[in-house]
Structure 1
Amino acid sequence: MSAKTELALVLAGVDKQFRQGKRSTQALTQLSVQVQRGRITGLMGPDGAGKTTLMRLAAALLHPDAGEVQVLGLDTRTQASLIQQQIGYMPQRFGLYEELSLRENLDLYADLQGLPDAERAARCAELLRLTALSPFAARRAGDLSGGMKQKLGLACTLLRAPTLLLLDEPTVGVDPISRRELWSIIQTLHGQGATVLVSTAYLDEAERCDDIILLDQGRCLAQQPPAAFTAPLAGHCWRVRHAGMHRRALQESLLTRPGVRDATLQAEGVRVLLAENPPQPAPDEDWQPQPPRFEDAFISLLSPPSTPGQPAPAMSTPSRDQRASDPVPRSSAVTVDGGMAPAPRAGSTQPPAATSSSEPVIEVQNLRRSFGSFEAVKDISFSVTRGEVFGLLGANGAGKTTTFRMLCGLLPASSGVLRVAGVDVRQATATARARIGYVAQKFALYGNLSTQQNLHFFASAYGLRGARRQARLAWAEQEFALTDYLGTNTGALPLGFKQRLALACALMHEPRILFLDEPTSGVDPLARRAFWRRINHLAESGVTIMVTTHFMDEAEYCDHLVLMSRGEVLAFGSPQAIRAQATTPDHPEPSMEDAFVQLIQTHESDSRQAA
């Protein structure tokens, strides 16, 4: 086989620009990368790096402005139809027909792809077995869980057994069990000879790839195997513990120290990435070396180094264009309930002031919700105290979003007690809503309105008037670094900026309680880190946070968790207590993801056997 035929995809000197009105965006700049046949290649990078543009060029849906794109030896400008007959492309939002059944969706896509009738039955049966969807073939697609929808989208993509499979964030928004199932399918396809190019926001998935292309601002920073990214960081990664300090306070302290590139909560301590080696522990700190991960390399290559003596970038994360030139935040405090909650100063070793109390601000007793004969939430009870970060976890379809919507007064409960901020939600819905902020799973922004228009709309919706309205609008623009995007339609914003805007809108009226329904789904790790520093400061200032997430590392930021399965509470407690329930002699230190998968799979297996 010649060197040319060993390559499934070649981009050589590719430029691609998009224009919207007077604004232009350079998506790719002189990009040259190659994807070898028979390998799984990961496509990584922050929001706006150019990953989706590269995918659409590889699918021959776009033409480059300059340079060449060859797919399976064919030129995308002149041989697009031949290319599309040999590839499979699953975009971020795969177009399922929700009113059709699972099997009817497969039949429709088989028609669209021209799959011969003689091959159709066997191929569909094979894909249903591969995705474990056979028992649900007659179910309406709109009634499938998020993970099942992703597997169905992948099955539709695979009807013609592609030589090259292009997957644009196939695991976004799905729970850890579904992610593992999707990767099992990808690896099975790879074992059958398929070449796979997959983009993802989950950096642990990089370890499953043979090769990684790392993009930033439309350029290739590096292309090499995962081990080549992590090797230079040997000796730079540590786990830090402090018996007398809360993990979130320890994390904040570490982030302000010179030489610390990253600090995230991990199990009983804080995982730290150092720019230099060795560490300089403070009194009563225990530092233990850790093997580097791809996530450490990602942060090291893409995050600006901290500036000694400057506040840590807690509240305003620079845009990708600002990262190199403006690493210092515009603000080091967040407004809560009319006051200012100061962020810890650089060099401080004191934990932020604790403001949580035993006062319950969310009370749920014997809550139920039925849709016809289907009971989505089954007699659940829990309470949340002031200033607490409370996590609601579960697989897709567990009832988390239904519970959230009832707590926010957006969906009536079938029965039970719901009290939020001292208000009975079932009796005084409007009063309860005025005391909460809500960031929906799909970001409830108006895509045809500009950033500024969205801010003004939500200010009006929350009843802000006069000087207070102007002050809050100015706060939102500055605090979330939105000034440069005020005239941009929300639909055109990168995902990280949509998240910022959604959070700014939810905090516009200074609520006492903030509900966050999978707020970081699909958002890159840099934006997720900045987001969680905001959340931590809000909690320390007395705001109660209730959050759902499919990122199990984010569950570590919670004070307490409820783990739901099939509408029921499966487990309740601190992250440490949840992990302890999954501890075994063979696995004495399970991660939160390990605990999630083990507890839910065991429960749902028992449920199926009982049925």
Structure 2
Amino acid sequence: MTEARQGHGGTRQAENAQVPGIVEARGIRKVFVRKHDTTVALERLDLTVPHGEITALVGPDGAGKTTFMRLVCGLMKPTEGRLHVAGLDVAAHPQQVQDALSYMPQRFGLYEDLTVLENLELYARLHGVPEDVRQQRFDHLLAMTELAAFTGRLAGRLSGGMKQKLGLACTLVRSPKLLLLDEPTVGVDPLSRRELWVILEQMVREEHLSVLVSTAYMEEAARCRSVFVLNHGRILAHGTPADLCGLAAGCCYGVVPPAGMAMRTLQDRLLREPAVLDAVPAAGRVRFTTRGRPEELSALRELQLAAQPLVPRLEDGFMMLLKDDEARQSVTAPAAGAAAMTKAPQALQAPDRAAGIPAAAGAPVEIEVRDLVKMFGDFTAVAHTSFDVRRGEVFGLLGPNGAGKTTTFRMLCGLLPATSGKLRVAGVDLRTARTQARANIGYVAQKFSLYGGLSVYENLRFFGGAYGLYGHRLRQRIAAVMEEFQLKEQADVRADRLPGGYKQRLSMAAALIHEPKILFLDEPTSGIDPLARRAFWQQITQLSAQGTTIIITTHFMEEAEYCDRFMIQDHGKLLVLGSPAEIRARLGRQGAGMDDIFVAIVEQARGGTADA
């Protein structure tokens, strides 16, 4: 086995190095010069993408993944270095390169007022696909994506997973030599993600397609033949998934929290240990990595817990690479983007030993839902759903794309009226007093939804005023949340110029400025790398410990492990409700991962035969 090589610009050349790759990058440097600053996006990259394989780019927000893909497409030119695609110099022949590849960016441009078939026709014309081969190509792609029954449906009325499938089909209306996919499964549920990867792997087999994909999901990167890990525009390591897993060999352990302690609380305590490189809830325990001896960790000694060794995963090697690199970079300027979110906000105090205990039966009910129904014409989006959420609880709303969870979420927020049923939030009836109820609610949207043209301070001042704060109280709360989320140094920066990690901080600060009882989070970690997700959940752990009730939707099923309880919906119906441990016990699969649990529940409800 070829070992992963680490270090500045380090690569592992393909075993058949004598054969040029579909992409050959040598000494690639990209510098963005702006009016007030200069950013080095890529620093001396040497990278080879082999023919007929799937190669992954992984790294935190701001690592340079999208910049590199845009260079490969010929959409921008490198500052220095040589870049060849399919034997062509990209700088000299950008149009010929674009004719040889297909590119699906993060926001692929489907035309939502056109049907599935009309979108395919449009992209076929744009790509110059001859009419005599179009129908055969369409039939093949529609069968592969299981969209043949929906050719007359408007793209805007497709579920998220179906939209991604259609985007991939439109990208592949011609047979390219190279397919570039920039985070193609962001915002897509596990069932749809698996289906997309089956399609992709089939295309590689049938057409010897070469694929370069960037992804925030380590389980997707693990399906690729080779993986490049980027950070701050540099390659930290390159190898097969097995090579990169090996970097964490002998460093991975699992520990089950004591009775009554939430897994997110034990995770938070472990992450505060200097010797712990990473910790995350997974498969009913907290998985952590350390180069030391686990019995020497104070958290485990105090709680009298014994850790068991685990086989390393790709994510373990990835996190160790990033943490080691961040440690090397810590003496320089603060890291931007997601890498800057490696620590929990300073102003929030660490929870005490009892913090994070799941809400007791006697805790006040903050959200009460009884027989909730939502109809759109004759379509039932939510069917007779009932549940409670108690103060300080972290409660997850999960389900496939189009399952009804977003509709349920919007009704709980007061953004959408219910057709029938009882819905009380913070003691207020949402059907009769939505404005009053919203005063107790903070909301973080899936997409960054603050005012890009306003500075950090101006956004906070605006949203504080919108929540009824003014004068000394408003100034006091702005100062508090800026301290809490480490935004003071960014106070005068326009929101649309913030790195992704800081945008997330600002969204959280704006949602919490009026100190709401309940915080609604709509896929807050969508498209965010594992490094930033760890820091985000440390924030949520502390907010919950202080009594804030958290309602969250997510397509990262592993995040269900952080919830005290969660529910899964499909086709508007509630399929399951309970704690992670209760739901595992119900299925009889104590050690299963949450992706497998989710797929099993949904497919069993649909009459499938999945065995999680």
User: TM-score under structure 2 normalisation?
Assistant: 0.90
**1:68 Cα shift?**
1.6
Match of 1:7, SS?
Answer: coil
1:284 aligns with 2:315: no
Output aligned runs, 1:152-191, within 5 Å. 152-191=166-205
Amino acid at match of 1:291: V
Does the C-alpha gap of structure 1 residues 605 and 139 become closer, same or farther in structure 2, counting only changes over 3 Å? farther
Q: Identity of paired residues, percent?
A: 49
**1:66 Cα shift?**
1.3
Which ranges of structure 2 fall in alignment gaps of 5 or more residues? 1-14
Q: Distance in 1 between matches of 2:64 and 2:203?
A: 26
Which ranges of structure 1 fall in alignment gaps of 5 or more residues? 308-312, 334-341
**1:44 Cα shift?**
0.5
Q: 1:363 aligns with which of 347, 350, 368?
A: 368
Match of 2:306, SS?
Answer: strand
Assess if the C-alpha contact under 8 Å between 2:248 and 2:312 holds in 1: yes
**1:255 Cα shift?**
2.4
Q: Distance in 2 between matches of 1:166 and 1:577?
A: 41
Q: Distance in 1 between matches of 2:393 and 2:294?
A: 35
**1:518 Cα shift?**
0.6
Does the C-alpha gap of structure 1 residues 368 and 137 become closer, same or farther in structure 2, counting only changes over 3 Å? same
**1:25 Cα shift?**
2.2
Does the C-alpha gap of structure 1 residues 319 and 435 become closer, same or farther in structure 2, counting only changes over 3 Å? farther
Q: 1:37 aligns with which of 51, 63, 84?
A: 51
Does the C-alpha gap of structure 1 residues 189 and 355 become closer, same or farther in structure 2, counting only changes over 3 Å? closer
- In structure 1, the partner of 2:3 is none
- Cα deviation, 1:467-506, whole Å, max 9, x if unaligned, reads 2211221222222222343343333333322221111110
Assess if the C-alpha contact under 8 Å between 1:60 and 1:77 holds in 2: yes
1:528 aligns with 2:533: yes
**1:599 Cα shift?**
1.0
Assess if the C-alpha contact under 8 Å between 1:242 and 1:284 holds in 2: no
Assess if the C-alpha contact under 8 Å between 1:496 and 1:524 holds in 2: no
1:194 aligns with 2:209: yes
Amino acid at match of 2:579: S
- In structure 2, the partner of 1:436 is 441
Does the C-alpha gap of structure 1 residues 498 and 574 become closer, same or farther in structure 2, counting only changes over 3 Å? same
Amino acid at match of 1:598: A
Q: Distance in 2 between matches of 1:54 and 1:305?
A: 20
Match of 2:28, SS?
Answer: strand
Q: Distance in 2 between matches of 1:60 and 1:127?
A: 27
Q: 1:273 aligns with which of 289, 298, 303?
A: 289
Q: Distance in 1 between matches of 2:241 and 2:403?
A: 34
Q: Distance in 1 between matches of 2:443 and 2:341?
A: 30
User: TM-score under structure 1 normalisation?
Assistant: 0.91
1:506 aligns with 2:520: no
1:601 aligns with 2:593: no
Which of 1 and 2 has higher RCO (CA within 8 Å, sep 6+)? 2
Match of 2:514, SS?
Answer: coil
Assess if the C-alpha contact under 8 Å between 1:109 and 1:156 holds in 2: yes
Assess if the C-alpha contact under 8 Å between 1:390 and 1:559 holds in 2: yes
Q: Distance in 1 between matches of 2:58 and 2:148?
A: 33
- In structure 2, the partner of 1:72 is 86
**1:581 Cα shift?**
3.4
Cα RMSD, aligned residues only: 2.5
Q: Distance in 2 between matches of 1:54 and 1:250?
A: 38
Amino acid at match of 2:580: P
Q: Distance in 2 between matches of 1:279 and 1:378?
A: 50
Does the C-alpha gap of structure 1 residues 163 and 382 become closer, same or farther in structure 2, counting only changes over 3 Å? same
Q: 2:100 aligns with which of 60, 78, 86?
A: 86
Q: Distance in 2 between matches of 1:376 and 1:512?
A: 27
Does the C-alpha gap of structure 1 residues 167 and 130 become closer, same or farther in structure 2, counting only changes over 3 Å? same
Does the C-alpha gap of structure 1 residues 330 and 445 become closer, same or farther in structure 2, counting only changes over 3 Å? closer
- Cα deviation, 1:88-124, whole Å, max 9, x if unaligned, reads 1000000000011111100010111111100111101
Q: Distance in 1 between matches of 2:369 and 2:254?
A: 37
Match of 2:22, SS?
Answer: strand
Does the C-alpha gap of structure 1 residues 467 and 248 become closer, same or farther in structure 2, counting only changes over 3 Å? same
Match of 1:303, SS?
Answer: helix
Does the C-alpha gap of structure 1 residues 2 and 351 become closer, same or farther in structure 2, counting only changes over 3 Å? closer
Q: Distance in 2 between matches of 1:71 and 1:490?
A: 36
Q: 1:300 aligns with which of 316, 320, 323?
A: 320
**1:174 Cα shift?**
0.3
- In structure 2, the partner of 1:338 is none
Q: Distance in 2 between matches of 1:329 and 1:118?
A: 58
1:352 aligns with 2:367: no
1:550 aligns with 2:535: no
Amino acid at match of 1:182: L
Match of 1:153, SS?
Answer: helix
Q: Distance in 2 between matches of 1:165 and 1:479?
A: 43
1:256 aligns with 2:272: yes
Q: Distance in 2 between matches of 1:444 and 1:571?
A: 31
